[in-house]
């Protein structure tokens, strides 16, 4: 059993009432519960965190990464702007999958650029809450040493 981290960034605590036409009607608690169930079904432990602050995300990554095998991150808006988050991910050298609920490429121009995607193992964007579950399934396959469809 490995520990997998799930980190959600700013404003994702508002899921369920935040622009539901864009982000869906599930709350973050709903999503975390489903992800924990899925991780358990796959034989792993999921440790969840949400932070509205860039420093809070960096601190948590630095604390948790040494005992974790993989990360799923929805960086929210910081994915488009944060060199500090990019440096933290490079610094802790934890492989990660970037997830966005919405299709960031079908929205405003500024959402098309990412500080993280080129250093991620992969990115899932636009598949709603299911994106988190698909990321966990991919990670479990990687941790089993399989993953012919991955790096």
Of the listed pieces 30-38, 43-51, 52-60, 96-104, which binds ligand DQA according to CB under 6 A? 96-104
Among 6, 39, 68, 76, binds ligand DQA (CB under 6 A): 76
Q: How far apart are CA 111 and CA 114, in angstroms?
A: 7
Smallest separation (angstroms) from ligand DQA to the CB of 72: 12
Q: How far apart are CA 127 and CA 59, in angstroms?
A: 28
Residues 14-73 binding ligand DQA (CB under 6 A) are none
Angle at CA 126, nearest 5°, toward 20 and 12?
50
Smallest separation (angstroms) from ligand DQA to the CB of 63: 23
Smallest separation (angstroms) from ligand DQA to the CB of 118: 17
What are the residue numbers of the active site?
A: 23, 100
75 Cβ contact list (under 8 Å, min separation 6): 7, 9, 57, 82, 85, 98, 116
Q: How far apart are CA 102 and CA 21, in angstroms?
A: 10
Q: Which residues here bind ligand DQA, judged by CB under 6 A?
A: 11, 74, 76-77, 100-102, 104, 111
């Amino acid at each position: 059993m490995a520990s997998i981290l799930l980190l959600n960034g700013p404003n994702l605590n508002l899921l369920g009432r935040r622009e539901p036409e864009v982000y869906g009607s599930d709350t973050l608690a709903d999503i975390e519960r489903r992800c924990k169930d899925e991780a358990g079904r796959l034989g792993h432990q999921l440790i969840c965190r949400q932070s509205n602050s860039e420093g809070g995300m960096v601190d948590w990554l630095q604390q948790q990464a040494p005992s974790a095998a993989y990360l799923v991150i929805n960086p929210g808006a910081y994915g488009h702007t944060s060199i500090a988050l990019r440096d933290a991910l490079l610094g802790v050298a934890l492989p990660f999958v970037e997830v966005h609920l919405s299709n960031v490429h079908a929205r405003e121009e500024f959402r098309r650029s990412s500080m993280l995607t080129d250093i991620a193992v992969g990115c899932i964007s636009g598949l709603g809450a299911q994106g988190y579950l698909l990321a966990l399934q991919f990670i479990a396959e990687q941790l089993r040493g399989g993953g012919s469809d991955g790096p």
